Amino acid sequence: MITLTINGKKKHIDVEGDTPLLWVLRDHLAMTGSKFGCGIGQCGACTVHLDGVATRSCILPVNAIGSQKVTTIEGLSEDGLHPLQQVWIDKQVPQCGYCQSGQIMQAASLLAANPNITDKEITTGMAGNLCRCMTYERIVDAVKQGATLYRQAKGSSQ
């Protein structure tokens, strides 16, 4: 039995320790926001946060998580409208949508670490997340707008 904290809640899952987190989320907890893309941590469709850091869940065995907190796209905000999720809607970023939860999770991790991110840092930070519809320009645009929102929120909380 493995115990994980996912989206702020303790979950007890009866799986082998080497089971990838992605399969625990999708198959055991019915949390299907994180997608299976490549299975080798290269495409980013499965991205979740581990203590706030973007992490590929398809290659992360659950026994490596320990006491770290897992956040999925389902847990990014209580109402499903995290500022980045709203920007994604406003900018009409998704086409097929398959990669978008991973894109948003990667962007949220980047902006939480650095809301004053430059265009080059966005491009570099998002480079490991692939989009088969090629909406990269809209993704970068959305991350830039999200950075503005993060800065505004940070300024209002001080």
Domain end call among 28, 52, 75: 75
CATH assignment at residue 95: 1.10.150.120
pLDDT at 156: 61
Q: Give tens-digit pLDDT for 13-49.
A: 999 999 999 999 999 999 999 999 999 999 999 999 9
64 and 112 share one domain: no
- Number of domains comprising the chain: 2
107 and 62 share one domain: no
46 and 97 share one domain: no
44 and 9 share one domain: yes
Q: Please give the DSSP secondary-structure letter assigned to residue 112.
A: H
Q: Summarize the confidence of residues 98-120 as an average pLDDT.
A: 95
pLDDT at 157: 56
* Domain housing 55: 2-75
CB atoms within 10 A of CB 36: 16
Domain end call among 31, 51, 75: 75
Domain end call among 56, 75, 94: 75
CATH assignment at residue 32: 3.10.20.30
Q: Give tens-digit pLDDT for 52-108.
A: 999 999 999 999 999 999 999 999 998 888 999 999 999 999 889 899 999 999 999
pLDDT at 81: 87
Torsion of CA 117, 119, 123, 129, to 10 degrees: 60
116 and 138 share one domain: yes
